[in-house]
Amino acid sequence: MSSHLKTIVVVEDEPDTAEMFAEMMRLSGYRVIKSYGGSPAINLITKEKPDAVVLDIMMPDLSGLDVIRQIRSNPEVAEVPVIVVSAKSLPSDVRYGLELGASVYLTKPVSYTDLKDAVEEVIKRSTV
């Protein structure tokens, strides 16, 4: 049965935050795979071809913005929806993230309902 679950990759360098987002997604009925940095996330996303990615921007190795650039430039995963969840909340930060290819840009702290709704919406849009 688990093979029928939609897969979400959570990319977040803070383990507690990663687990919180992962648990939110599990409670919503998704299969979750976590990555604790941008560099390993690129390979993971390419390999798994998830239904959506929940992505932090500020990470020590490779920023979330770089992850978006690499995802969008790879034809195998270019269409995977990306939900940014970041503490960077200035209008210019949000605009830039969306211009680079984020499907949705949420700011921390994010509620369970907001994250769940964003993930459901981007998955619905990508399957239409």
Domain ranges of the chain: 2-119
User: How far apart (Å, rounded) are the C-alpha atoms in residues 9 and 47?
Assistant: 11
Residues 102-126, mean pLDDT to the nearest whole number: 96
User: How far apart (Å, rounded) are the C-alpha atoms in residues 58 and 79?
Assistant: 23
Whole-model pTM: value is 0.95
Tell me, rounded to whole angstroms, the distance of Cα 77 from its chain centroid: 13
In the predicted model, is pLDDT for residue 32 greater than 80? yes
User: Which pLDDT does position 7 carry in this prediction?
Assistant: 98
In the predicted model, is pLDDT for residue 3 greater than 70? no
Strand, helix or coil at 32? Answer: strand
User: Which pLDDT does position 46 carry in this prediction?
Assistant: 97
CATH architecture under which domain 2-119 falls = 3-Layer(aba) Sandwich (3.40)
Query: What confidence tier does 2 reach under pLDDT thresholds 50, 70, 90?
Result: very low
Strand, helix or coil at 38? Answer: helix
Task: Tell me whether the omega of the peptide bond preceding residue 109 falls within 30 degrees of 0, making it cis.
Answer: yes
